[in-house]
Amino acid sequence: MNILDIIAKKRDKKELTKEEIEYFITNYTKGEISDYQAAALIMAIYINGMNEEETKNLTLAMAYSGKTLDLSDISETIIDKHSSGGIGDKVTLILMPLVASFGIPVAKMSGRGLGITGGTIDKLESIPGYRTDLSLDEFKKNIKEIGISLIGQTENLAPADKKIYALRDTISCTESIPLIASSIMSKKIAAGANKLVLEVTCGSGAFMKTKEEAEKLSKVMSKIGELAEIETVCVITNMEQPIGKNIGNALEVKEALEALNGKMEKDVEEIVLTLGAQIMKLAGISSDVNKNKEMILENLKNGKAYDKFIELVKKQYGDVEYLKHIENAKYIIPVKTSKGGYIEKLNAESIGRAALSLGARQNKKRR
Ligand code: URA
């Protein structure tokens, strides 16, 4: 078997076998296939797609490209959440400490920004000292001790995703159902959670531009979840406009802190309550989603969710003092309108591009 034949096969719109997919993933992870050959294959997948069987095989090969975590000694229920990407999406920063504040164990491996979308890891790294690169032992220890850990992709867990994710970002191969589904689900399988809520974003600031595409991505990921015995719920969310009122790593951390202090923008609140209520249902707190929403609002009001966030930051070596005075950007240019009126709509995609050009990103070199 060799990579040239595999690239040619996908270029010519043919189906790849399980063995060919595994050959690519194993050898690319080991560094025995070059970035330019991997880029050619990823582009061929992007253009010609993958069927269900290929997508499943790609996901499993990526999930088992490194270690997988067994968290069953911590709890019967380990929760994870993932977003398919958006602009101003700080939901993870608010929702995961909130969930952990109910004693539901949270084990989350997040990504960096991809394409025009922001990444939770870039956001967390705007907190001085916060370590997203914990060892697997530290990750597990934190979940045991404080009920939550939020880390980035590691060299050990789904390392193939770490490499392919960074590569896709540099070659304009982000909006692809097989590539997104395998990227998200490989991380989830490797990280050991058994209950999963997926925020499938849809609109100009998301990879899935239409509801039909978002439904298709949801179906593919749910099917992989079923296969991996991860109870999966997908919620399609609107990404026509940025979420909340800030876009940019530190600013989004600041907004998340305000939200955890009970001052949350309405659109953010709707997503947090919807996803949170589903997570609590999966965790067996209550099957009544309205009751779950009330409980969530209570833990936002009584400060338990905020305290959990601070505990998490401390535990992962972040500077909690900094959180008290996150400053606005050094240069602020007010844009004034010459006419009176209301802003009816903000284009999420244009704002994402603007944030990207200002450097809201720490990935592999893009040019
Ligand atoms: N999030 C991921 O982890 N991967 C993608 O491809 C898109 C969003």
pLDDT digits (tens, 9 = 90+) for 78-88: 889 999 999 99
Give the pLDDT score at 364.
Answer: 47
- Round to whole Å and give the CA distance between 15 and 268: 41
- Round to whole Å and give the CA distance between 96 and 143: 12
Is the sign of the CA dihedral 13, 165, 248, 87 positive or negative? positive
Provide CATH 3.40.1030.10 ranges for the chain.
79-153+167-321
**Closest C-alpha to ligand 1, atom 1:** 84
Give the pLDDT score at 367.
Answer: 47
Provide CATH 1.20.970.10 ranges for the chain.
3-49
Q: What CATH fold (topology level) applies to the domain 79-153+167-321? A: Pyrimidine Nucleoside Phosphorylase; Chain A, domain 2 (3.40.1030)
Residues with CB under 6 Å of ligand 1 are 84-85, 111, 114, 179-180, 183-184
Ligand 1 atom nearest the C-alpha of 180 is 6
In the numeric block, which tokens belong to residue 5? 């034949």
From residue 358, give the alpha-carbon distance in Å to each of 71, 118, 248, 259, 271: 39, 12, 9, 25, 27
pLDDT of residue 155 exceeding 80: no
- For domain 3-49, the question of CATH label 1.20.970.10 is answered with yes
Tell me, in angstroms, the distance from the centre of ligand 1 to residue 19's CA.
Answer: 24
How large a percentage of the chain has pLDDT more than 90?
Answer: 82
Ligand 1 atom nearest the C-alpha of 110 is 3
Give the pLDDT score at 313.
Answer: 98
Tell me, in angstroms, the distance from the centre of ligand 1 to residue 137's CA.
Answer: 24
- Of residues 256 and 331, the one with the higher pLDDT is 256
What average pLDDT does range 197-207 have in this prediction?
95
List residues with catalytic annotation.
Answer: 82, 161, 168, 183, 187
What average pLDDT does range 138-161 have in this prediction?
92
Ligand 1 atom nearest the C-alpha of 111 is 3
Tell me, in angstroms, the distance from the centre of ligand 1 to residue 323's CA.
Answer: 27
Give the pLDDT score at 115.
Answer: 85
Q: What is the mean pLDDT of the chain?
A: 93
243-267 pLDDT, tens digit per residue, is 999 999 999 999 999 999 999 999 9
How large a percentage of the chain has pLDDT more than 70?
Answer: 98
CA atoms within 13 A on the CB side of 84: 35
Give the pLDDT score at 362.
Answer: 59
Q: How many residues does the chain have?
A: 367
- Round to whole Å and give the CA distance between 9 and 114: 27
Indicate the range of 113-127, 196-210, 349-363 predicted with least confidence. Answer: 349-363
Q: Which 8-state DSSP code applies to residue 14?
A: P
Tell me, in angstroms, the distance from the centre of ligand 1 to residue 181's CA.
Answer: 7
What average pLDDT does range 332-352 have in this prediction?
89
Q: Which positions ≥6 away from 256 have C-beta within 8 Å?
A: 90, 93, 94, 309
